[in-house]
Structure 1
Amino acid sequence: MTISQLPQDLIEEILYRVPVTSLRRLRSTCKGWYHQALFKDPRFIKKHFDKTAKQYHALMLFGNTVCPMSSVVDRVMRVVSIYPHRLALPHRDEFVSLSEAFHCDGILLCSLLMKTMIVVWNPFSGQTRWIQVTQLQDHYIGAYALGYNNKELCRSYKILRFRCQYVKLAASWGWGALNVTPEPEGNIISEIYEFSSNLWRNLDSVLPDQAYLKPSGGVSLNGNTYWMSCNKKGDYSLLSFDFSTEKFQRLCAPFHHEPCHIDTRVLSVVREERLSLLYQSRKTLEVEIWMTDEIETTFVSWSKFLRVDLLGLNHCFSDSMSFSIIDEEKKVVVCCDEAGNFDFTMVWIVKEGEEYRASPDISVDGGVQAWSIPLLSVPSLFGYVPKN
């Protein structure tokens, strides 16, 4: 008896426990499963997601490449990136800037240098969706976030697009004034793209006052998106966007004192379970990493996870840095940031009470080499669980 001759419910029970990366290979083994839409059935997808083992990956994004990042935590710290996944482009002259990719639920939303297109990409399944967008005026940029309606059984994915204008807050460039309220001229300020309809529509959500945020600094957790933001008075908060209600909400930040505009504040997600926030004072160079204990619609609680003093190294992380908590028990964090001379990217591995700095010698394609990356291509680090 072959597996295709087994009862359908038994076949499904077996397939529920097969990793998503292996399901792709099974399409050629039994084409009936794929062509009969078993792998596309929302009921099968939901049960497979609930039962399959969740394999966690720490990934690095740069150029149009995704590399898993394996770390050996001992007295000599190294970061080795291997087995790259590359995004197949429809035209070779196009370039996908994965340093600006937004990660949600195992999917990447990537911005292009060609500003009339964006692409949604699942690196492990290889599936892509290319989406056309309207080009904004030169003095504006389009900021994007990917999420889903977490009130529905089958996830309904959406893309938020809003217009930002870069402004200077104190000595820090790169913060954008977020515009989400309608203009008298009727110009489109923010939009929602729904995967189910393949259409864009205007968003009517309104903020109580103007918000300033890093357009590329958003992270996704449980379908919602979060940014660090401040208002005109300089009050900092956590800004959330709920893709179920399509509303913005301000939440509290964990600072005991009001940070300066030039201090570093960067968000990350821990194993798709909690938010984490890296805060560094430019005055003391002390690094604090906080993690959320609980997030509700109008409330969030924080606890301090890590504290590291970088005063002796005289290094202050930029707002373009990224970080990933790779070992909660040992309190080990990998940080990626531009080097002081801007010629290459430096990878840092920090641990409470200790500090390590890896050289720019990073294995990219199987050989060790000096890794020189342009300033605009500082890699992003994030945790990833493959999805269907």
Structure 2
Amino acid sequence: MATMMSDLSDDLVEKILCKVPLISLGAARSTCKLWNNLSKDRVLCKAEARQQCLGFMMKGANVCSVRFDLHGIQNEDVEFVEPSIKQIDKFKKVAISQICYSDGLLLLVTKEEDNTSLVVWNPYLGQTRWIQHRNSNSYMYAFGYDNNRNQKILMIAETYFEIFDFDSNSWRVLDVIPDGHIISNHIPQSVSLKGNTYFIVRRENAVETDIEKCLLCFDFSKDRFGQCLSLPFHFNKIYDTVVLSSTGEEQLAVLYKPCYTSGIKIWVTTKIEPNSVSWSNFLTVDITPLGFKVFNGSFFIDQENKLAVLFDISRCKRACIIGENGYLRETPPHWRYCPPHLRHCHTWMCFYAPSLVQISQELELSSFYNIQSLFQ
């Protein structure tokens, strides 16, 4: 008797589905009800996802999904696979001013004249939750969770801070001072890791008249800032580039490029806690041959292949791939792959990994979201 697909064990089905490209997962789900249900209970295609740079791009006030294939990219004989950039229909009617990422969830900030709306979204599960915030003086939000996995949002204004607790469904003012340092108001300078948010902060040294930068953690379990942590380089020029990123949910990464040189250095953390950090050098590359400019953009690192993909924040720049032994490769301008009305908008990227994390309370559930449709 022939074996039916529904007769296969869950473990075998998972092994099969893990070989299916993420963008083809919808077709696999439709093959069998069991397969569809299984994909709701666990994150599939993790191995395949590691061969791609998946993320969400803020183009102007719009949100787009991005899929960037890294498979074989170091082989010059392999033809470059054009990235996929697709505007998210779900948010076409709102103006997005900021995107935050935490453990598979996205926080999207929409700005109106006298009102701010926040939406938390799990693209893999298709869950969303809308949160109102009437404070129009905020200039930055951060997103994380405490030791009990209770999700929280930090609002940063000019002179004070508020926090939203998902379980209590309420905002409250925090009596905190971030170690006397001024938090940068530039969106890419904060990253969520292990539930906490890390910021690049700046302070002025009155003696040397230099501007210094350091790392600062907001601990969502204690609802307070940690102490200022050292970066693995000395920063003292206002036009030097410092960009923060992460590698999964375990390590931070930081990129540094002095203003008047073409050398780029990237470090990753070997230890990271709210009040302690240690760093290891990941890459040092001279990008002079490309003439590529990095200014407050975003970057993604592939530790297995010792690669980094850099994205500039400006309108029509290319992505740049750098690696060991001086490896350099430049992609065609990413605006070529955008919807026409978004091609000349400023760009910012946040990187994404699918997750089964549930959004606490008051969910708006779509039918199970076909994540592959986001990245086609």
C-alpha spacing 1:102/1:222, structure 2 compared with 1 (3 Å)? same
Residue number in structure 2 paired with 1:7: none
CA-to-aligned-CA distance 1:151-175 (integer Å, 9 cap, x gap): 22xx1100000114xxxxxxxxxxx
Separation in structure 1 between the aligned mates of residue 200 and residue 341 of structure 2, nearest angstrom: 33
SS at match of 1:384: coil
| RMSD, matched Cα | 3.7
Match of 1:110 in 2: 108
Is this contact kept in 2: 1:96–1:113, CA < 8 A? yes
Aligned to 2:181: 210
Aligned AA (2:329) = Y
Number of matched residues? 324
CA shift, 1:329, in A, is 3.2
**Segment drifting more, 192-201 vs 108-117:** 108-117
TM-score for both structures, normalised by structure 2: 0.73
Question: What pairs with 1:1-388 in structure 2 (closer than 5 Å)?
Answer: 56=50, 58-60=53-55, 61-62=57-58, 63-71=62-70, 72-73=72-73, 74-75=75-76, 78=80, 80-82=82-84, 84=86, 86=88, 88-89=90-91, 93-97=93-97, 100-114=98-112, 115-137=115-137, 141-149=138-146, 151-152=147-148, 155-164=149-158, 179=159, 189-216=160-187, 217-233=189-205, 234-319=211-296, 321-325=297-301, 327-338=302-313, 342=315, 344-352=316-324, 353-360=326-333, 364=337, 372-375=343-346, 378-388=347-357
SS in 2 for 1:359: strand
| Aligned-partner residue type, residue 353 of structure 2 | Y
Q: Within 1, Cα distance between the matches of 2:14 and 2:178?
A: 43
What TM-score comes out, normalization by structure 1 length?
Answer: 0.71
The change in CA–CA distance for 1:255 and 1:261 in structure 2 (over 3 A counts) is farther
Distance 1:373 1:59 in 2: 22
Tell me the equivalent position of 2:365: none
Compared CA separation, residues 364 and 214, structure 1 to 2 (3 A): same
Q: Which residue of 1 aligns with 2:5?
A: none
In structure 2, stretches of 5+ residues that fail to align are 1-8, 206-210, 358-376
Asked whether the 8 Å contact 1:269–1:276 carries over to 2, the reply is: yes
Identity %: 29
Rounded Cα–Cα distance in structure 2 between residues aligned with 1:87 and 1:196:
29
Q: CA deviation at 1:301?
A: 0.4
Aligned counterparts of 2:331 and 2:313: Cα–Cα separation in 1: 13
CA contact (8 A) 1:345 1:371 kept: no
C-alpha separation in 1, matches of 2:254 and 2:140 = 21
Is the 2:139–2:185 Cα contact (8 Å) retained in structure 1?
Answer: no
The structure with higher relative contact order (CA 8 Å, sep 6+) is 2
Checking the alignment, whether the CA contact within 8 Å between 1:324 and 1:333 is kept in structure 2 is: yes
Q: Secondary structure at the match of 1:88?
A: helix
